[in-house]
Amino acid sequence: MSRSINMLVGPAPFIHERESTSSLAWGTSLALLPAFIWGLYCFGPRSALVVGVAIASAAAAELLIGLLHRDFSLGDGTAFLSGFLIGLAMPPGVALYVPIAASLFAILVVKAAFGGLGSNWMNPALSGLVFALLNWPREMGTWMLPRQLGGAQALSGATPLGILKSSPSIGDTDLLGLLSRAGLRPSDFDRSITAFLNEEVFGHIGASLPSGYMDLFFGNRPGAIGELSGILLLAASIILLSRRMIRWEIPASIFASYGLLVWIFGALPSGGAFFSGDILFELFSGSFILVAFFMATDPVTSPATRVGMLIYGFGIGVLTFLLRSFGSFPEGTAFAVIMMDCAVPLIEKIHTPARRGGKEASRG
């Protein structure tokens, strides 16, 4: 007589490690705290207000859904993380109704309307960010100089990617020089660190590091509150990777595909040659690191298999390059991730987990 076994399978995320959904959400928020503190130092209390209203709006929406369904999930930290990410991706001087609307859209429409955590087809924080970019492009394109670079005046479109996008100069492949001529000259900090590295490191191998990269690495530039410091974001991502809170396949394939395309074709629009694109400038000039490590790796909306993750990340890198090169917005990473979210069912249909002993293998 045969025995039948009934299994109840719920929606993603399927987590096979000791980390729970709650610990993943709160752990990711904690890892992002240094990047937020740096943004707070650079832009002052106004940045804390922007992040605070984004978090409060996401929490209020989550609480409202809990009251309606009598199923409270506010303590799992996912709404807090969504609001936190939305706030970190905002310009420091943005009108407060923008992060409020973005957080409400993320939780009420993208998360709750599709059945709650695990049923949404795109990352709530990313969806809120794209919602804000499409509805309030002017507000989302007005930036401020960090206080260590000269003050609190607003500069419309003055991020490094914005300057590059709006520059009419053809034949100018010196991107750091382009920033200097636009008013973003290297800081004293950048010049001192660059001089030290050239003297003690690069000089011994016959190389030289131009001034300007240290400001990009450490966050001495206009930008969103939480995207400024690539060094702090990379440090946070290392923590998450080492604790296996995120998988390496997605960010690695995003970096590989985007970096390769930038290296091969990135200098062509400025009149340069093949294989001469400035990879470091492109990686550290916008929200690329924040999105690649902390949004694209969402276990709910990304593929469940290793090959699927690699395909997914590869597609994000390619789309990011195309959108940044030919799109109307200077930044294209968020749009690229959402476009690939639409392709996840197809990716998983094409590549299903290998069968072992008659049963499908688990993720990874």
What pLDDT sits at residue 17?
43
Q: Name which residue leads in pLDDT, 160 or 157.
A: 160
What pLDDT sits at residue 142?
85
What's the rounded mean pLDDT across residues 242-252?
94
pLDDT bucket at 158, cuts 50 / 70 / 90: low
Percent of the chain with pLDDT strictly greater than 70: 87
What pLDDT sits at residue 273?
86
What pLDDT sits at residue 103?
97
Q: Name which residue leads in pLDDT, 160 or 48.
A: 48
pLDDT bucket at 3, cuts 50 / 70 / 90: very low
What pLDDT sits at residue 253?
97
Least trusted range by pLDDT, from 143-157, 224-238, 249-263, 293-307: 143-157
> Taking 50 as the threshold, does the pLDDT of residue 188 lie above it?
yes
Q: Name which residue leads in pLDDT, 351 or 266.
A: 266
What are φ and ψ of residue 142, in 5° steps?
-110, 120
| pLDDT tens per residue across span 61-100 | 999 998 887 877 778 899 999 999 999 999 999 999 999 9
Q: Name which residue leads in pLDDT, 239 or 356.
A: 239
Q: Do the Cβ atoms of 254 and 316 come closer than 8 Å?
A: yes
Could you tell me the CA-to-CA distances from 330 to 90, 124, 225, 261, 287 in Å, in that order?
Answer: 15, 22, 17, 17, 11
CB-count exposure of residue 94 (10 Å: 0-12, 13-18, 19+): buried
What pLDDT sits at residue 150?
63
> Taking 80 as the threshold, does the pLDDT of residue 169 lie above it?
no
Q: Name which residue leads in pLDDT, 213 or 142.
A: 213
Mean pLDDT for the chain overall: 85
Reference 141, options 172, 122, 165; nearest CA is 165
What pLDDT sits at residue 170?
52
> Taking 70 as the threshold, does the pLDDT of residue 1 lie above it?
no
Reference 80, options 34, 131, 29; nearest CA is 29
Residue 34 identity (one-letter amino acid) = P
User: What string of DSSP letters covers 164-233?
Assistant: HHH---SS---HHHHHHHTT-PPPHHHHHHHHHHHHHTGGGGT--PPTTHHHHHHT-SS--TTTS-HHHH
Per-residue HEC secondary structure of 111-161 comes to HHCCCCCCCCCCCHHHHHHHHHHHHCCCHHHEEECCHHHCCCCEEECCCHH
pLDDT bucket at 363, cuts 50 / 70 / 90: very low
Q: Name which residue leads in pLDDT, 239 or 184.
A: 239
Least trusted range by pLDDT, from 62-71, 159-168, 200-209, 218-227: 159-168
What's the rounded mean pLDDT across residues 17-35?
85
What pLDDT sits at residue 63?
93
pTM: 0.87
- Measure the CA–CA gap between 268 and 264, rounded to whole angstroms: 9
What pLDDT sits at residue 351?
65
Percent of the chain with pLDDT strictly greater than 90: 58
| pLDDT tens per residue across span 96-125 | 999 999 999 999 999 988 777 777 888 999
pLDDT bucket at 217, cuts 50 / 70 / 90: very high
> Taking 70 as the threshold, does the pLDDT of residue 350 lie above it?
yes
| pLDDT tens per residue across span 290-344 | 999 999 999 888 998 999 999 999 999 999 999 998 888 888 899 999 999 999 9
Reference 338, options 352, 319, 310; nearest CA is 319
Q: Name which residue leads in pLDDT, 295 or 155.
A: 295
